[in-house]
Structure 1
Amino acid sequence: MTIKFLAQDDRPREKFMLKGRSSLSDSELLAIIMGSGSRNESAVELARKVLASVNNSWHQLSLLSAKELMKFKGIGEVKAISIATALEIGRRRAHQEIPDKVVISNSDDAYHLLKTYLSDLRTEEFWAVFLNQSNKVIHISKLTHGGISQSIVDVRILFKTALEHFSTGIIIAHNHPSGSLKPSREDMNITSKIREAGSFLNIQLLDHLIITENAYFSFSDERLI
C-alpha cells in the first residue's frame, strides 16, 4: 500500500502540515526524506525497516555509507544521498550550537567541545583548539584527515594557525576509530614534537585528547605532557 492510499492522518507530509514536525515519528521523518518507498512497501514501512536495522538510532544510521544504505531494496543512489545529506546537516547544526568563547578549564571541557567533531568518524582526523590567555576558545580547526589507522600532522601548519589567531595555548585531539584509548608510539612522538615546538614560540600545549565514540584519553590527566 502506497502513501497516497493511506488515511490522511498517516501521510507524513500531510501530518507535518496539520500537526507540526514534532508530531512525526522517526520513521515518518525518514519517509519524508526518502520521498517514496519501494514497489511492495510504503516509504513509512521502508523507513521502519531501515531504522530497525540500526536499533532505531539516528547516530548509528549516520554511520552508514551511501553504498550500505543502497543495500535496502527500494533505496537507490538518490535516496541514499538524501538520507546521508539530512544526517550531515544535523551533524553540522550540532557543531554550530557550540557557543563562542567557551572557557576550557579541564580535559572534560575539551572533550565535550570536540566530541561532536570526532566521536563518530570512521577515519582518523586531527583537530586543534586554539585558546587565548584566559583559556577561552578563539578558533577550532581540522588540520588533517587520514586513513583508518593514522592521521599525519604538519606541525608548521598547526603553529601557523596559532600565530594567525594570536593563540597562547593549544589543545590537540584526534580520534581512534578502532575504539582503543591507548596512545600509539606515533601519538606520543607527535605530542612531544608539538610541545617542544610550542616552547620556542611561547605557545603552550595544554592537552592532547584521544577520542573514541563514548570516551576519551587525556595526556594532561595522565601526566604525559
Structure 2
Amino acid sequence: MKVYQEKLGIKLWAEADRPREKLLLNGRRHLTDAELIAVLIGSGNKNETAVDLSKRILASCKNDLDALGKLSVKDLSRFRGIGEAKAISIVAALELGRRRKETAGEEAMKITTSMDVYKMLLPVFADLNHEEFWILMLNQAHYVIGKQLVSKGGMAGTVADPKIIFKTALEHNAAYIILVHNHPSGNLKPSAEDLSITKKLVAAGEMLDLYVLDHLIVTNKLFFSFGDEGLI
C-alpha cells in the first residue's frame, strides 16, 4: 500500500495561524515577512502553502528584504507557484515600501542612549493592554538594522524564548541586541522573571559574541533601563 503525507493547506490551518486572519485578529505588525508576502500571493503550489513558498523566496535572498526588492517580475516568476500576476503584486508592494521610506527621509538610527531606544519603540507599545517582548538589532556601529516581536502574552507577562531571540538576531547578522518589553500595569519594577531572563540572555549572548546591550521595561510615559541601573 502506498503511504504518503499530504501537505496541509492554509485553509485547513487554525484561523489564528492563517496570514490574512492573523492580520485581522492581531494587526499587520504581528505577521512575519513570509506571512506578509503570503497575503500578497494568496496561494502556493501543489507542494507548498503560500507561507512555505514565501519562505523559500525569502531564503533565496538570505531573508534580506532589500535584496528581495531588487528582484524583477521575471526573477520572481521562476519560482514554482509564482506567475506573472503574483510577481507583479510582490514587486508593486515592495516599491510602495521603498517610496514610503524615501518620502519619510529617515536615516538609519544610531542608538547611543536608552532614551533613543524608548523613543523608537514607544509607538510599538502605545496603548497595549497586554505584554509584548521585542528585540532591537544593531550592527557594529550601533545603527538599528531591525526590530522584531518575539512573543506576546497577557496582562501578567510573556515568555521570551532565547532560541527565537538569537536565531532572529543571527539571521539579521546583528552584532548587538537590545531587549524591550512593556508592563501594561505601569509598574516599572523588574520582576524576578525579568531579572532571570535578562541574566540568561546576557550569558548566552556572550557565548555567541552577540551581546545584549540593554533591557528596557516600558510604559506609556516612563521606562526602566537595566543598563542604566547597572544590572547588565
For the criterion TM > 0.5, the same-fold answer is: yes
1:40-93 CA-to-partner distances (Å, cap 9, x unmatched) read xxxxxxxxxxxxxxxxxxxxxxxxxxxxxxxxxxxxxxxxxxxxx9xx89xxxx
Distance 1:124 1:166, change over 3 A: same
Contact 1:118–1:212 under 8 Å retained in 2: yes
Gaps of 5+ in 1: 1-84, 90-95
Offset at residue 103 of structure 1 (A): 0.4
**Alignment match of 2:121 (pick from 103, 114, 127):** 114
Matching residue of 2:149: 142
Amino acid across the alignment from 1:101? A
Structure 2 residue runs of 5 or longer lacking an equivalent are: 1-23, 29-100
Query: Do structure 1's residue 163 and structure 2's residue 170 form an aligned pair?
Result: yes
Alignment correspondent of 1:55 = none
Name the counterpart of 1:78: none
How many angstroms apart in 1 are the aligned matches of 2:107 and 2:125? 19
Identify the residue that residue 108 of structure 2 maps to in structure 1. 101
**How far off its partner does 1:99 sit?**
3.5
Gap change, CA 1:127 and 1:98, over 3 Å in 2: farther
Name the residue aligned to 2:215. Answer: 208
Equivalent-residue separation in structure 2 for 1:216 and 1:128 (angstroms): 15
Matched letter for residue 111 of structure 1: Y
Q: Output one character per residue of 1:139-189: Cα deviation in whole Å (capped at 9) or x when no partner.
A: 110110001110101100100011111101000100000000000000000
Change (3 A) 1:124 1:98: farther
Residue number among 109, 125, 128 corresponding to 2:132 in the alignment:
125
Aligned Cα root-mean-square deviation (Å) = 1.9
Structure 1 residues 98 and 219: alpha-carbon distance in aligned structure 2, compared to 1, 3 A threshold: farther
Residue of structure 2 in register with 1:19 after alignment: none
Corresponding position of 1:191:
198
What CA distance in whole angstroms lies between the structure 2 residues aligned with 1:146 and 1:214? Answer: 21
Q: CA deviation at 1:98?
A: 9.5
Structure 2 counterpart of 1:189, which letter? S
| TM superposition outliers: structure 1 runs of 4+ over 3 Å | 96-100
Is the Cα–Cα contact under 8 Å of residues 176 and 211 in structure 1 kept in the other structure?
yes
Q: Which amino acid in the other structure matches residue 159 of structure 2?
A: I
Q: Cα 1:122–1:208, aligned 2, differ >3 Å: closer, same or farther?
A: same
State the identity as a percent.
Answer: 45
**What SS does structure 1 have at the residue aligned with 2:178?**
strand
CA shift for structure 1 position 120 = 1.8
Q: How far apart, in 1, do the equivalents of 2:155 and 2:169 lie?
A: 27
Aligned equivalent of 2:64: none
What TM-score, normalized to structure 2? 0.55
Give the Cα separation in 2 of the matches to 1:98 and 1:157: 32
Number of residue-to-residue matches in the alignment: 133
| Residues 1-225 of structure 1 aligned to structure 2 (within 5 Å) | 99-225=106-232
Distance 1:171 1:98 in 2: 25
Distance of 2:199 and 2:126 partners within structure 1: 24
